[in-house]
Amino acid sequence: MTQQNGAYGDADATKANTDNADAASTGATSINATKAGTDAELNASIKPRKPEHGQRRPWVWIVIAVAVVAAIVAAVLVFNRPGESAPAAAAKNTIAIGLKLPPTNLDIRNQSGSSLDQILIGNVYEGLVARDAKNQVVPALAKSWDISADGKTYTFHLNTGITFSNGDKLDASDAAWSIDELVTKQYHDAEALRNFKSVRAVDARTVEITLSAPYADLLWSLAGRPGLVFDRHAQYDAKTTAVGSGPYTVQRFVANDSISLKANPKYWGPNKAKTANVLVRYFADDNAAVNALKSGDVQVLAPISENLAAPFRKDAARYAVKSGDDTDKFVLAFNSKGAKTSDRRVRQAIRYAIDHKAIIASRGGVDKALGGPIPSLDPGYEDLTDLYPHDVAKAKSLLAEAGYSPSKPLQLSLTYANTYGTELGDQLRSQLKAVGIELKVNVVEFSTWLQDVYTNKNYDLSLVDHNESHDFYQWATPTYYYNYDSKEVQALYAKSLAATSAKESEKYLAQAARTVSQDAPADWLFNYRVTTAWTKGVEGFPVNLNQTLLPLYDVVYRP
C-alpha cells in the first residue's frame, strides 16, 4: 500500500470563493493595460543625451518623470495581469471555531463521548491508521501494512522520524505498549479489538498484531481510539492536557467551554498546521452560536441547523454554507418484544405511514432518505428506500389485518430524550394519526430515557440519533434495547466479520441490512447531514463527518 499524506483529504473542505474578486481584477487590469502601453511607447522613443559639465537640462526632467510613471505602471501590471487574481490576503495566525458538544475532560482512554474523538484524534493524538473524508481507512503513523492470507496477522510499517510533542521518539514499542495497555486495562473501546490475541514490536519500525480469528473491521477499529499511540514514558494529567504526535498540542482546556490548540513545533509528518492557533468554543445554545458567527467571535460554526443557516446562505458575500455527509441515523425503534409492536404487521404499517420526504423538507431539505440500518458512507450500504414507500392505504390494510380499525384504533407511545426537541414527535403523531394510530409522545430527560428505554426496554417506540459508523452490531445483538432477535441476521453479520476480503464482507453486510429493513424492527427517518457555516476567507475546514472527525491542520483564515 502506498503512503498517503494524512488522514483527511481536501475533497470536502471549504475553499475561498474568489470568483467575484477575479472578475473585478480582470476588469481593472484591462484599463491599466491601455495606459501602460501608451507610457511604454513614449518612454522607448526618448533617447537621453549625456549632460554637459554635470548640468541637467530641462528635458531631462521630463525623461525622469516619464520613467517614474513607467515604473509605477509596470508594478501595476505585475500584480494585475489580465486573467490573474490579486495576491491572496495574508492568513491570520488564529482562527476561532464554534462546536456543539463539549468534552468534560480530555482523558481519551477513559472518557466516553464523540467530542473527544472529534477534537483530539488526528489533531493531537495519532493512530497507526486513520480515516479520510470518505470514511475510508488510510495510512497515518503506519505508512503501510500487510495482512496474512488467513486474515489473522497484521504487520504495520511505521514512518521514520516520528516524535511526540514533548520531543520523545515514537517507535513500535510505543505502539505495542499502547494497544497492550488498552486491552489489559480495558480502556474505552477495548471491546472493538475483536479476536485480539497479541501485539508486539518486531523492530523499531514494525508492529505485529495477531488475532485468534479473522476480523474484517480491525483496520477500521484501529482508525479510532484502539489504534492511538501514546508516549509510554510521559507523565501528565490526561484529563487536562495531552502528549501526542499530531500537528497540534493542547495549550489550554476549560471543561465544557473551550479548547485552545497550538501548532506542534516538533511535528514530524506531512500534515503541518497551517494556522498557528485554533480556539475551539462550545455553544449549548444555538442562538448564542449564531450570534457568535455574526459578530465575528467565531469564523466557523459546525453544526448549524439548516433553518438557522438560511440567513447566512442569503448573505453569500460574507458567508458560505455547505452540508456534508455523515453517518448519523435517526432511528425510530419499535420494541420487537412489545405487546403490540411484536406484530410484524404493526411495524410494517408504521413504516408505510411515515412520509420521509415531508420530514426531511421540514428540516431544510438537506438530510438524506435512509431505508435501512447502513448509511451511505459505511460498507454494505444499499439504497433500501423502495422497501417501504409512503403508502397510507397499505398501512391501513396492514393494521386491519392486525385487528385494528377506526372503532378500535392502535394506541402506542413514543418515548425519547428532550435532546431532540418536540417537532419530530409532533410530526410522527400527525402522520400516524392519518392511518388510524393514536400516538402518545413522551419527551423525557435523557437519564429517564436511559433507564426506561435503554436499560429496562419498557417502551413501544423510541427515537435516537445513532451517529456511530460501522455500528451494525446493534442489529445482531438480541440484548440491545431494540429487542430484535434474528438468527439469519446474526449469521450474516458473523460471516461479514470473518471474511478475509472487503468485497466478501460488504456482500454479507448488505444482505443482513436488507433482511433487517424487511423485518421492520425500526424506521430510519433520515440520514442526518451536517451543515457548516463559515465566514468568507476560511479555507480547508472539513464538512464531511466533522462531528466525529475534525482534522484542522489545513484550516486557514484570510479575511
CA neighbor of 535 nearest in space, from 505, 513, 558: 558
pTM: 0.80
Residues sharing a CB contact under 8 Å with residue 187, sequence separation 6 or more, in sequence order: 109, 110, 181, 225
Question: What mean pLDDT comes out for the span 371-393?
Answer: 97
Please say if the pLDDT value at position 16 is more than 60. Answer: no
pLDDT (0 to 100) of residue 419:
86
pLDDT (0 to 100) of residue 306:
87
Please say if the pLDDT value at position 327 is more than 50. Answer: yes
Q: Which CATH superfamily is domain 329-527 in?
A: Dipeptide-binding Protein; Domain 3 (3.10.105.10)
Question: What mean pLDDT comes out for the span 293-314?
Answer: 95
Please say if the pLDDT value at position 27 is more than 90. Answer: no
Least confident of 6-10, 32-36, 356-360: 32-36
The tens digit of pLDDT for each residue in 343-365 reads 999 999 999 999 999 999 999 89
Please answer whether residues 358 and 457 qualify as being in contact, where contact means their C-beta atoms are separated by less than 8 angstroms: no
Grid coordinates given for 288? 448564542
The tens digit of pLDDT for each residue in 134-166 reads 999 999 999 999 999 999 999 999 999 999 999
What are the sequence ranges of the domains in the chain?
A: 248-326+530-557, 329-527
CA separation for the pair 223, 131 (Å, rounded):
6
Please say if the pLDDT value at position 272 is more than 80. Answer: yes
| pLDDT, averaged across the chain | 87
- Cell 499511540 locates to 229
Pairing of strands 196-203, 153-158: unpaired
pLDDT (0 to 100) of residue 347:
98
| C-alpha torsion 211→217→220→224, nearest 10 | -70
pLDDT (0 to 100) of residue 353:
98
Work out the pLDDT band at 505, boundaries 50, 70, 90: very high
The tens digit of pLDDT for each residue in 44-83 reads 333 333 333 334 444 434 444 444 445 444 444 444 443 4
- Percentage of the chain with pLDDT > 90? 82
Inter-CA distances, 430 with 177, 355, 435, Å? 56, 10, 9
The tens digit of pLDDT for each residue in 179-193 reads 999 999 999 999 999
Pairing of strands 461-466, 410-417: parallel
Inter-CA distances, 31 with 22, 87, 414, Å? 15, 19, 68
* Bridge partners for 329 per DSSP: 466, 527
pLDDT (0 to 100) of residue 89:
75
pLDDT (0 to 100) of residue 87:
58
- Percentage of the chain with pLDDT > 70? 84
pLDDT (0 to 100) of residue 65:
46
> Under CATH, which number does the domain 248-326+530-557 receive?
3.40.190.10
